[in-house]
Amino acid sequence: MLLPLACWALAGAAWAKLPPPTPEAAAKAAESAARAKWSGQVDAYRLCQVQDRIAARFGQPRPAGAAPLPACVDPGPFSYTPPEQKPIEASAAHSPPGNATSPPSTGAPTPPTATR
C-alpha cells in the first residue's frame, strides 16, 4: 500500500526537476501534434464516407424540404510547415536597444518614502 504511494511521490519530484524542452524537442512535439490533428481529420473523413455508403444502402429517402447535408471533406496529404525561428538578436528577448547611460545600480541605498 505504501509502495505505490512512495513511487508516486518520487515520480512527482523527478518530474518537477526536468529541464525545459530544447527547441528541437519543442519543434518535434509541435509536428507530432499537427500529425495527430491531421490523423483525426482523416478518421473523420473515412467515417463520413462509410456513413454515406450506409445511408445510401439502408436509409430512407430525404424529404424534399430538408436541408442538404455537408459533403465529406478530404483533409489531403499531411503537410507541416514549422513556424519561422527568429534569431535571439531579432526577437528582442534580451536587452533593450540603445546604450546604457548609467549603471544598473549605484550601490547606495534609496531613502524610504513617506507614507500616510
Supply the pTM of this predicted model.
0.55
Task: Write out the three cell numbers for 47.
Answer: 467515417
**52 neighbors 72 (Cβ within 8 angstroms):** yes
Task: Write out the three cell numbers for 50.
Answer: 462509410
- 58-101 pLDDT tens trace: 888 878 888 888 899 999 999 988 877 766 665 555 566 667 67
- 10-61 pLDDT tens trace: 776 666 778 888 989 999 999 999 999 999 999 999 999 999 999 888 888 8
Task: Write out the three cell numbers for 106.
Answer: 549605484
DSSP conformation class of 17: T
CA distance 116 to 102: 32
